[in-house]
Amino acid sequence: MPEYRERIALPGVALVFAACLSALLAGCSGDETKGGNVPSSPEEASSVVVRVSGTEGTSIAGNYGFLSGELQTAEDTLGDQPLDYELDTPQESSVEPVDELDIPQESPPGVVASFRKIDPVAGELKAEILADGELVADGRTYAESGTVNVEWIPTPEPLPEDLPPEDTPPEEEP
């Protein structure tokens, strides 16, 4: 009977070890930055670039830009160097009215990009958003007719602790 338990326990321990190792390594991929002084939002960046790379010779098409503005269109073929699409930062872009009341458009709240392989082909397609040269978001696909979507939408700053929550009335002083 003890021999049966040993045969079950050994693979179980190996499975737990593999799961823990996978969880640790999962923290080493994804939307990590290269370090340095990363802007917390597009408004704080002096430059914003969408970089597309992948398997050389892959034909791609896509859209990219600020959420609050008109998206730019791109169609190209990947080479041995990444393709960089620079966005006009809020400081460089002109403020235009958005309606008949001449209310100016606010600064862009986020950046989005979506690129796809035009022809089915094996290999990688990767899109990154860089702010002041630092990686702030990335995504990739290996599917033959794959699409990669990437977004940099900063989280709003929390309210100061001394402000009461919105759903409770302010306290009246006696």
What's the CATH number where 75 sits? 2.60.40
164 falls within a domain: no
Q: Extract the tokens encoding 163.
A: 């402000």
Q: Into how many domains does the chain fold? A: 1
171 falls within a domain: no
85 falls within a domain: yes
Band of the pLDDT at 109, cuts 50, 70, 90?
A: confident
117 falls within a domain: yes
Size (the chain), residues: 174
Whole-model pTM?
Answer: 0.63
Alpha helical stretches, state H, the chain: 2-26
Mean pLDDT of the chain: 75
112 falls within a domain: yes
3 falls within a domain: no
d(CA 74, CA 76): 7
Band of the pLDDT at 2, cuts 50, 70, 90?
A: low
Buried b (16+ CB within 10 A) or exposed e, 51-60: bbbbeeebeb
Phi/psi-derived region of residue 132, left when phi > 0, alpha when psi is between -120 and 50, beta in every other case: left
Strand partners of residue 137: 129
**What does the pLDDT look like over 75-89, one tens digit per residue?**
999 999 999 999 987
Q: Domain range for residue 75?
A: 42-152
User: What pLDDT score does 10 carry?
Assistant: 45
21 falls within a domain: no
- Which residue has better confidence, 90 or 24? 90
Q: Extract the tokens encoding 170.
A: 């302010």
144 falls within a domain: yes
Average pLDDT, stretch 29-37?
A: 49
- DSSP codes of every residue in 17-49: HHHHHHHHHHTTSSS---SS---SSGGG-S-EE
